Amino acid sequence: MDSGMPKGHEWKPEHLRHAVMAAGVALWAWNVDTDELKMDDFAYELWGVPLKPTVSFEELSAHIHPEDRDRVRAGFAATRAVLGSYETDFRILVGEEVRWIAARGKGDDEGIVGRTMFGIFLDVTGRKQAEEGHELLAGEMSHRVKNLLSIAAGLTAISSRSAKTIEEMAAELTDRLAALGRAHDLVRPLPDGQGKAALLGDLLTVLLAPYNDLGAFKGRIRVAVERMGIGEGAATGIALVFHELATNSMKYGALSVPEGTLDISSVNDGNDIVVTWLERGGPVVRSPEVGDGFGSKLVQRSVRIQLAGSINYEWDAAGLIVTVRMSRARLAN
């Protein structure tokens, strides 16, 4: 048979093996009667299981993520009823690491040899992480746009109460929206080459400026935190967290009314710095009765992953109290 390759370059078994390894493909063979799988060395490495002649599907499925396990078991059991090719993606646990695997093969006894079906495993972790990142980014951008519209409406209402003339209101509102734009720029990474971010106090002051400098209500936000520098990586996380807190306060909390005040302070706790967000003079606040929304999940994720810390809410009758614990080492990055 003509291999389709130039003379002297015919396929050899070792060539095929090198191509399979280069593509990151793991091979498996499944005996449909004994339910045992034979896999190549790369498959054992991919699954994080010790090498041995065969492995049962039940042994292998113990490494599948609990949320995917029943679906994958049902899918493999149904493969012989599927006509032609099939593919399923699922997560596995290798220690504390989560990997995504794509299993591919032939169903409905197609390609079966001696009661054994053949297929491959592909490590698609990178692709799945990229897809999750894109989904998170899309959700975050949608959330920010909605927040910005709500804030703009709130700033317009407050400016209309404090201004004496239309011209004065227009000037104040323009300044507020410009400050909001500057604050919004902080909620994204700085381009390379623009240096370190700022001092923690300066960062919070700029971020909260749109809500503080409001005519007769100027000075209702007080920032008194430790003097410490913040790295570029941490600045994005801090800005996102406190921008979200300010947005919620503008909608429902102390910053939604003229007499409301906000105090931000910090204490030194060894390797951590603990920042307290204290609202007073606003509407009565209550703990949400439903599950966390996208904004709350985004804040929790940012504090945990970007700042190596934690955030806690106290729904005090006098006003919301938020405690944000952050790693000093992480803030410097």
Q: Give tens-digit pLDDT for 254-265.
A: 988 888 899 999
Q: Which of 81-95, 131-145, 146-160, 197-211 has the highest mean pLDDT?
A: 197-211
Q: What is the pLDDT of residue 66?
A: 86
- Distance between CA atoms of residues 152 and 322, nearest Å: 24
**Mean of pLDDT over the chain:** 75
What does DSSP say about strands 97-107 and 116-123: parallel, antiparallel, or unpaired?
antiparallel
For 166, the token pair is: 């239309």
Global pTM value = 0.48
Residue 326 — pLDDT band, cuts 50, 70, 90? very high
**The pair of three-digit structure tokens given for residue 161, joined into one six-digit string:** 């109460």
Q: What mean pLDDT do residues 295-312 have?
A: 82
- Please state the rounded mean pLDDT for residues 35-64: 83
Please give the sequence-ordered ranges of beta strands (E in DSSP) within the chain, or none if there are none.
25-31, 36-39, 55-56, 84-94, 97-107, 116-123, 221-224, 261-269, 272-280, 310-316, 319-327
If one compares 60 and 19, the residue with the highest pLDDT of the two is: 60
**Interaxial angle between packed helices 125-162 and 232-252, expressed in degrees from 0 to 180 and rounded to the nearest 10:** 50
Domains and CATH numbers, the chain: 13-123 (3.30.450.20), 128-331 (3.30.565.10)
**What gap in Å lies between CA 333 and CA 219, rounded to an integer?**
31
